[in-house]
Amino acid sequence: MNTVEKIGVLTSGGDSPGMNACIRAVVRTGIYHGLEVFGIRNGYDGLINNDIIKLESSSVSNIIQRGGTILKTARSEEFITKEGRQKAYNNLKKYGLDAMVVIGGNGTFTGANIFINEFDFPIMGAPGTIDNDLYGTDNTIGYDTAVNTVVDAVDKIRDTADSHNRLFFIEVMGRDAGFIALRSGIAGGAEDILIPETVTYIDELVEILEKGFRKNKKSGVIIVAEGDDAGGAFDVARKVKEKCSGYDTRVTILGHIQRGGSPTSFDRILASTMGYGAVKALLEGRRGEMVGVIHRELAYTPFEKAIKHHKEIKRELLEMARILSS
For residues 174-210, b (16+ Cβ closer than 10 Å) or e, as one string?
bbebbbbbbbbbbbbebbbbbbbbeebebeebbebbe
Contact 299, 292 (CB under 8 A): yes
3-state secondary structure of 190: coil
Distance CA(150)–CA(185), nearest Å, equals 9
In angstroms, what is the C-alpha Rg of the chain?
22
Is 131 labeled as catalytic in the residue annotation? Answer: yes
Q: Which of residues 214-233 bind ligand F6P (CB under 6 A)?
A: 226
Contact set for ligand F6P, span 110-149 (CB under 6 A): 129-131
Compute the least distance from the CB of residue 92 to ligand F6P, in Å: 26
In the complex, least distance from residue 247 CB atom to ligand F6P, rounded to whole angstroms: 27
Residue 227 C-beta: closest distance to ligand F6P, Å:
8
List, in sequence order, every residue forming a beta bridge with 7; answer none if it has no partner. Answer: 37, 99
**Residue among 164 and 308 whose Cβ is closer to ligand F6P:** 308
Q: Quick one: which of 35, 102, 173, 274 contacts ligand F6P (CB under 6 A)?
A: 173
x/- letters, 47..76, toward ligand F6P (CB under 6 A): ------------------------------
Q: Taking CB under 6 A as the rule, which mask of x and - marks residues 80-109 in contact with ligand F6P?
A: -------------------------x----
- C-alpha atoms less than 13 angstroms from C-alpha of 265 in its C-beta half-sphere: 0
- 262-294 per-residue burial string, b: 16 or more CB within 10 A, e: under 16: ebbebbbbbbbbbbbbbbbbbbeeebbbbbbbe
In this chain, which of 28, 41, 259, 268 binds ligand F6P, going by CB under 6 A? Answer: 259
Active-site residue, from 15, 98, 131, 144: 131
Nearer to ligand F6P, 73 or 219 (CB): 73
For 57, which DSSP code? G
In the list 30, 136, 174, 275, the residue contacting ligand F6P (rule: CB under 6 A) is 174
AA letter at 53: I
Q: Judged by CB under 6 A, which stretch of 34-42, 169-177, 243-251, 286-294 contacts ligand F6P?
A: 169-177
DSSP secondary structure string, 220-242? EEEEEETT-TT-SHHHHHHHHHH
Q: Is the Cβ of residue 13 or residue 212 nearer to ligand F6P in the bound state?
A: 13
The count of other CB atoms within 10 Å of the CB of residue 32 is 11
Considering beta carbons, is residue 177 or 318 the nearer one to ligand F6P? 177
Q: How far is the CB of 75 from ligand F6P (least distance, A)?
A: 7
Question: 240 to each of 232, 233, 248, how far by Cα in Å?
Answer: 12, 10, 11
Catalogue the active-site residues: 131
Residues that bind ligand F6P (CB under 6 A): 14, 105, 129-131, 173-175, 226, 259
